[in-house]
């Protein structure tokens, strides 16, 4: 019972820090946290206009021909939280270095901030997508269950988020490198564009391909037949994650702490 | 509250160049680089008291391991080896950075940081007036922190950290930026923590404040405990240590032999005495023999009270004697004439020979407590305190021009 109370108090503190992180980012702005929502809605709207309207005729088979709104939303609702979480994890400890030294729980506490923020982004985007999809029609009765899959994906990537938050203390170049990798991965993954079947084998080792396609299928099952999707990249990532997690448990935290 | 430390060791890992950093990040810390620094070396201690609180000071030169020890005690760093046993809550004010964010208001920072320090939001809101008042910042609650000076931020952080009792309070140079009156308030707060049973561990370079504040002191050097116990004797050992270090740097241990010097006190009639009266003029005489030529030297004197607090210090340079020289195999006699405007009590005097303004560089000789003497108060001079400031009182009446003096 004592352990449960300790855990509850721990996550209460994490929530305070998440709130503080937003307060810091948006302190003094007119719209505050609303900027977060505006930023994502605007980003998705630009892609929607370009790939769903402007290039819808001239883009050939790389433009999704079904309900493009559901297509882009079911991709972005997962990509944005995962990429934001991984990127933020690279700087979270360094940005809060002095505060980390204020509390004995320092590092353990702060590495959860990007994870909670990732979940917030996901639930926000899922809510918007679900509401819009419901109003437009096209969702399935099992569509709400996709929220569990999405949350599980975020929690899966939280392991990498923990690793990056510590490794970035050793090598500060982690943040620009991560930004670069995420940019490449974004354009290598069919999130805003579609990939004709003959090219899909080239995506087999991109783990995000399987992850996003699975999400699309869960969000609106009529989207496509998943038997044509290669999941080896996704399974390879799961295996790599388990190995990396075990290695990082050995001494990554103590080496990282020595660099603060 | 008892803190037990057994064979505590801390080796910092680090990297020599980017290649090692990349390799370490790529192997997720398995490769930890080749740079190693031993910050603490098998430290064992028992601090605190089962029945009452204690204030323990940690002193030592830069790189001695003071901050590392506090970081480990607060749980920020992990020790390489050894054990720490302590039951209770720990709060720390480490380093000058306070973890506040400049864009947030003072109250927002207090709430966010306070919750992180274990206070509830309700408690903080209830106590916010006391908190800001103690920091001398009443009325500044809604001001953004970027309008605060470093000293104001530090006062706020100190006030927040000490808002309520903690079983162990760790303080690293937290009072360094406060003014004298805030330092006194801070010291009183440490004392009230001690009275409530708290173990307060303070790191500071202000030796005299530490001597007057602490019940016991620890002297650390190169990760080891050099001395532990009575603050006065530990601070004297620290002065010796600084002198030894600068001795090593100067490589000129020409006056290290104690047989080469003599010191004594004389009154105005050239009688050697050790008991004097307040306001009496006294000669502090220091004779020494130098086997080698010493040039550009400074000769200094310092007087400590019974608690080890420095009551006075001066040197030939401050008295406008620059560039003193002593020839080879020459005996020089230095006489410092002082008026003992001191309160009654026991005192000790020490001497130093070094280059420059302080004994931190090129120190040839440093000795604390060479001379012990006592000061008594005469009947005609009545006063309280540690110094006699030759008071005068002037009384004026507002309605007429007449005035009385006494």
Closest CA to B386 of B342, B340, B356: B342
**CATH of the structural domain B47-239, one choice from 1.10.10.10, 3.30.70.20, 3.40.50.300, 3.90.1150.10:** 3.40.50.300
Fold of B254-376: Coagulation Factor XIII; Chain A, domain 1 (2.70.50)
User: Is A214 within a domain?
Assistant: yes
Per-residue confidence (pLDDT) for residue B17, from 0 to 100: 87
Per-residue confidence (pLDDT) for residue B54, from 0 to 100: 93
**Paired tokens of B194:** 């001690």
- B122 touches A at CB < 8 Å: no
Please state, in angstroms and rounded to a whole number, the distance separating the CA atoms of residues B246 and B251: 8
Closest CA to B300 of B266, B262, B350: B350
A251 and B92 in contact by Cβ < 8 A? no
Per-residue confidence (pLDDT) for residue B131, from 0 to 100: 93
Q: How far is CA A82 from CA A138, A239, B178, in A?
A: 25, 18, 45
Contact residues, chain B, for A244 at CB < 8 Å = 28
Residue B367 CB-density burial (10 A; 0-12 exposed, 13-18 middle, 19+ buried): buried
A106 and B113 in contact by Cβ < 8 A? no
Q: Which domain, by its residues, includes A157?
A: 34-259
- The H-assigned helical ranges of B146-298 are 150-161, 180-195, 207-213, 231-250
**Which of B9, B29, B99, B146 to mutate: most A Cβ within 10 Å?**
B29
Burial pattern B267-301, b for ≥16 Cβ within 10 A else e, equals eeeeeeeeebbbbbebebbbebbbeeebeebbbbb
Helix (H) or strand (E) holding B404: strand B403-405
Closest CA to A255 of B6, B29, B51, B392: B29
A98 and B97 in contact by Cβ < 8 A? yes
Per-residue confidence (pLDDT) for residue B127, from 0 to 100: 93
- A137 touches B at CB < 8 Å: no
Please state, in angstroms and rounded to a whole number, the distance separating the CA atoms of residues A214 and A224: 10
Counting the structural domains of chain A, the total is 1
Per-residue confidence (pLDDT) for residue B117, from 0 to 100: 80
B77 and A250 in contact by Cβ < 8 A? no
Per-residue confidence (pLDDT) for residue A36, from 0 to 100: 85
Q: Can you tell me whether residue B253 is helix, strand or coil? A: coil
Count the neighbouring beta carbons within 10 Å of the beta carbon of residue B55. 23
B13 and A255 in contact by Cβ < 8 A? yes
User: Is A229 within a domain?
Assistant: yes
User: Is A240 within a domain?
Assistant: yes
Q: Is the dihedral of CA A221, A225, A230, A231 positive or negative?
A: positive
Q: Do residues A157 and A84 lie in contact, with contact meaning Cβ atoms separated by under 8 Å? A: no
Chain-centroid distance, C-alpha B265: 29
Per-residue confidence (pLDDT) for residue A139, from 0 to 100: 80
pLDDT tens per residue across span B100-153: 888 888 998 899 888 888 888 899 999 999 999 998 899 999 998 888 887 888
Q: Transcribe B78-141 into DSSP letters.
A: --SEEEEE--S-EEEE-SS-----TTSBHHHHHHHHHHHTT--HHHHHHHHHHHHHHTT-TT-T
Per-residue confidence (pLDDT) for residue A103, from 0 to 100: 67
pLDDT tens per residue across span B241-291: 776 765 554 444 455 555 578 899 998 888 888 888 888 999 999 988 888
Q: Do residues A114 and A14 lie in contact, with contact meaning Cβ atoms separated by under 8 Å? A: no
Per-residue confidence (pLDDT) for residue B401, from 0 to 100: 53
In chain A, which among 97-136 make CB contacts under 8 A with chain B? 97-106, 109
- Give the residues of chain A that fall short of pLDDT 70: 58-59, 102-106, 223-225
Instruction: Give chain B's length.
Output: 406
Strand arrangement, sheet containing B281-290: B261-266, B281-290, B330-339
Nearest CA in chain A to B77: A257
Per-residue confidence (pLDDT) for residue A155, from 0 to 100: 95
Please state, in angstroms and rounded to a whole number, the distance separating the CA atoms of residues A97 and A256: 12
Q: Measured between CA atoms, how close is B197 to chain A, in angstroms?
A: 21
A101 and B116 in contact by Cβ < 8 A? no
Domain ranges of chain B: 47-239, 254-376
Confirm whether B47-239 and B254-376 share one CATH topology.
no
Mean pLDDT per 10-residue section of chain B, whose length is 406 residues: 90 89 92 89 87 89 88 88 90 70 87 85 92 90 87 86 89 71 83 91 83 91 92 85 60 53 88 86 90 87 84 91 86 93 89 79 79 82 84 83 49
Nearest CA in chain A to B34: A255
């Amino acid at each position: 019972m004592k352990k449960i109370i300790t855990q509850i108090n721990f996550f209460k503190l994490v929530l305070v820090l998440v709130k503080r992180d937003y307060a810091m980012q948006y302190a003094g702005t007119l719209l505050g946290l609303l900027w977060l929502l505006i930023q994502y809605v605007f980003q998705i709207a630009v892609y929607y206009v370009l790939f769903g309207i402007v290039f819808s005729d001239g883009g050939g088979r790389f433009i999704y021909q079904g309900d493009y709104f559901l297509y882009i939303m079911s991709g972005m609702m997962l990509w944005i939280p995962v990429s934001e979480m991984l990127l933020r994890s690279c700087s979270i400890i360094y940005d809060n270095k002095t505060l980390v030294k204020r509390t004995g729980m320092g590092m353990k506490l702060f590495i959860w901030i990007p994870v909670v923020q990732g979940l917030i982004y996901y639930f926000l985007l899922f809510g918007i997508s679900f509401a819009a999809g419901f109003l437009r029609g096209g969702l399935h009765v099992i569509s709400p269950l996709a929220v569990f899959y999405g949350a599980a994906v975020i929690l899966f990537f939280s392991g990498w988020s923990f690793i990056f938050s510590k490794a970035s203390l050793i090598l500060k170049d982690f943040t620009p490198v991560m930004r670069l990798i995420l940019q490449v991965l974004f354009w290598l993954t069919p999130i805003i564009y579609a990939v004709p079947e003959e090219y899909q084998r080239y995506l087999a080792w991109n783990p995000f391909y399987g992850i996003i396609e699975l999400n699309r299928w869960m969000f609106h099952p009529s989207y496509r037949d998943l038997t044509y999707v290669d999941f080896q990249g996704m399974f390879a990532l799961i295996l790599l994650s388990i190995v990396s997690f075990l290695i990082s448990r050995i001494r990554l935290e103590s080496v990282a702490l020595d660099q603060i | 509250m008892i803190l037990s430390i057994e064979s505590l060791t801390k080796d910092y890992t680090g990297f020599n160049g980017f290649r090692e950093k990349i390799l370490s990040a790529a192997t997720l810390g398995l490769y930890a680089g080749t740079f190693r620094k031993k910050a603490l070396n098998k430290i064992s201690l028992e601090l605190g008291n089962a029945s009452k609180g204690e204030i323990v000071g940690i002193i030592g030169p830069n790189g001695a391991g003071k901050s590392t020890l506090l970081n480990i005690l607060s749980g920020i760093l992990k020790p390489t080896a050894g054990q720490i046993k302590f039951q209770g809550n720990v709060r720390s004010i480490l380093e000058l950075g306070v973890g506040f964010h400049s864009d947030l208001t003072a109250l927002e920072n207090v709430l966010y940081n306070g919750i992180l320090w274990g206070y509830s939001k309700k408690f903080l809101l209830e106590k916010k007036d006391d908190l800001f008042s103690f920091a001398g910042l009443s009325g500044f609650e809604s001001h953004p922190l970027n309008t605060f000076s470093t000293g104001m931020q530090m006062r706020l952080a100190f006030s927040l950290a000490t808002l309520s009792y903690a079983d162990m309070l760790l303080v690293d140079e937290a009072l360094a930026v406060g003014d004298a009156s805030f330092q006194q308030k801070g010291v009183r707060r440490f004392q009230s923590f001690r009275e409530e049973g708290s173990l307060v561990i303070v790191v500071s370079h202000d030796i005299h404040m530490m001597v007057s504040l602490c019940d016991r002191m620890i002297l650390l050097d190169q990760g080891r405990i050099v001395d532990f116990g009575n603050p006065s004797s530990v601070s004297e050992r620290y002065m010796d240590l600084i002198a030894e270090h600068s001795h090593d740097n100067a490589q000129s241990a020409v006056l290290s032999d104690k047989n080469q010097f003599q010191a004594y006190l004389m009154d105005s009639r050239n009688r050697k005495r050790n008991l004097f009266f307040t306001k009496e003029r006294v000669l502090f005489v220091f004779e020494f023999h130098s086997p080698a030529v010493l040039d550009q030297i400074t000769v200094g004197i310092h007087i400590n009270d019974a608690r080890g607090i420095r009551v006075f210090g001066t040197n030939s340079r401050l008295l406008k004697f620059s560039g003193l020289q002593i020839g080879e195999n020459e005996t020089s006699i230095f006489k410092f004439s002082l008026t003992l405007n001191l309160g009654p009590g026991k005192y000790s005097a020490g001497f130093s020979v070094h280059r420059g303004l302080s004994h931190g560089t090129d120190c040839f000789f440093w000795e604390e407590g060479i001379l012990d003497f006592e000061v008594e108060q005469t009947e005609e001079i009545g006063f309280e305190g540690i110094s006699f400031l030759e008071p005068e009182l002037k009384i004026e009446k507002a309605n007429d021009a007449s005035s009385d003096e006494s």
